Amino acid sequence: MNVMSPAEGLEALERALEPIDRVLIVTHINPDGDAVGSALGIRGILEATGKSTEIVISDSIARKYQFLIDRPVLKFDDPILSNLSEKELFQMVIFVDTSERERVGPVLDHLHDWLVQGAPEVNIDHHVSNDCFGDIVIVDPERASSAELVLRMAETLGVDCTSVIADQLFAAVLTDTGRFQFSNTDAHSLRAAASLVAAGADPSLIARRIYFERPVPFFRLLGHLLSTIDLYHGGRTCLMIMPRELATKFFPDGHLDSEGIVDYTMQVEGVEVGIFIRQTGDGVYRASLRSRGRVDVRLIAEVFGGGGHEKASGCEVRGSLEKVKDNIVSEVVKWLS
């Protein structure tokens, strides 16, 4: 654990970047808007300073974020990465929006092969659960998005954001603040958004591409799930369950899109905690938890080995659906009283 203030971290990053040319950028599995936008933004900023960079991820980027990609990102099993020459090895790795190393998924097992020996690890993140791993730590849990720290990084390095970078970072701030509606929305995130718009970000286009161009099957799935919500604890907990059959039924092409569905559980009057349980495999379930604020759902997720934020967290739970449901619901009730 490496304790330094974000300002100290940024200065250390600036110094560490000076002698090097090749930087690797990684982020968490199932990357959300902040992960995608921040990783792309970092790449653009570093390339503006003359560095050569690659983003490597463990799985693919959701369709709605693909318009942000200005140059392809690599998957961890890309053949380009399997035979890097000495000269092509990276001299620094930046983890962004990643509360702990393991969150990057299979990428982690390969890092050793892609980095020169002793390459510094940089940790840029805003999760309160971030364990401050790495040699250079730029972690600020007060910030609503990692992108706000990336914007500070641009300022530190003296890089003016192009409209492409501004769009990428704006999308990140937009999604992590729930379109400036979550309670983490503050003057800082709004100022960051304002400066990104001044730099050329297009808020109307970005909102439309991310939120208002969902595929038809998304609406059919949502309609089905909305009609099956269950309420517990006198209406204070709302539960929505998605067995795997629904993914195959509504998305026969395999491109499941269920992101943001959990947020509907929080729109029910009187609900304190919203839960969306999605089956991801045989006896494997992914639970997303949301809270109005009285219950810290990060603590609930941690009980099951997951993590996240006070008002939004997630975990993977194994067992029969009945058991998984009972376990989570009975954990919630402990925190509700």
Residue closer to Mn ion, measured from CB, 30 or 327: 30
Alpha helices by DSSP H, the chain:
6-17, 33-48, 79-82, 107-114, 146-157, 163-176, 187-198, 203-211, 216-226, 244-250, 262-265, 297-303, 321-336
Tell the smallest beta-carbon distance from residue 145 to Mn ion (Å): 5
Q: Which stretch binds Mn ion (CB under 5 A): 4-12, 13-21, 173-181, 322-330?
A: 173-181
Residue closer to Mn ion, measured from CB, 58 or 146: 146
d(CA 167, CA 37): 8
Span 204-243, contacts to Mn ion by CB under 5 A: none
Cα angle: 34, vertex 40, 43; to 5 degrees: 135
Residue closer to Mn ion, measured from CB, 146 or 279: 146
Residue nearest to Mn ion (CB): 34
d(CA 89, CA 149): 26
d(CA 84, CA 77): 13
176, 257, 259, 272: residue in contact with Mn ion (rule CB under 5 A): 176
Tell the smallest beta-carbon distance from residue 97 to Mn ion (Å): 4
Residue closer to Mn ion, measured from CB, 91 or 98: 98
Q: Using CB under 5 A as the criterion, what x/- string covers residues 63-102 for binding Mn ion? A: ----------------------------------x-----
Tell the smallest beta-carbon distance from residue 20 to Mn ion (Å): 26
Tell the smallest beta-carbon distance from residue 315 to Mn ion (Å): 17
In this structure, are residues 73 and 56 in contact, taking their beta carbons and an 8 Å threshold?
Answer: yes
User: Sign of the CA dihedral 99, 74, 62, 161?
Assistant: positive
By the rule CB under 5 A, 34 interacts with Mn ion: yes
> How many Cβ atoms are within 10 Å of 180's Cβ, its own excluded?
15
By the rule CB under 5 A, 140 interacts with Mn ion: no
Q: Which stretch binds Mn ion (CB under 5 A): 3-11, 32-40, 100-108, 291-299?
A: 32-40
Tell the smallest beta-carbon distance from residue 294 to Mn ion (Å): 23
Q: Is 55 exposed, middle or buried (0-12, 13-18, 19+ CB in 10 A)?
A: buried
Residue closer to Mn ion, measured from CB, 147 or 271: 147
Q: Which stretch binds Mn ion (CB under 5 A): 142-150, 213-221, 236-244, 257-265?
A: 142-150
User: Sign of the CA dihedral 168, 312, 73, 85?
Assistant: positive
Residue 122's Cα: distance from chain center in Å? Answer: 17
Residue closer to Mn ion, measured from CB, 111 or 171: 171
Q: Residues in contact with Mn ion, total (CB under 5 A)?
A: 4
Tell the smallest beta-carbon distance from residue 163 to Mn ion (Å): 22
In this structure, are residues 122 and 136 in contact, taking their beta carbons and an 8 Å threshold?
Answer: yes
Residue closer to Mn ion, measured from CB, 149 or 246: 149
d(CA 64, CA 41): 17
By the rule CB under 5 A, 272 interacts with Mn ion: no
Tell the smallest beta-carbon distance from residue 146 to Mn ion (Å): 5
User: Sign of the CA dihedral 258, 259, 262, 264?
Assistant: negative
> How many Cβ atoms are within 10 Å of 83's Cβ, its own excluded?
8
Residue closer to Mn ion, measured from CB, 54 or 97: 97
Residue ranges that bind Mn ion, judged by CB under 5 A: 34, 97, 146, 176
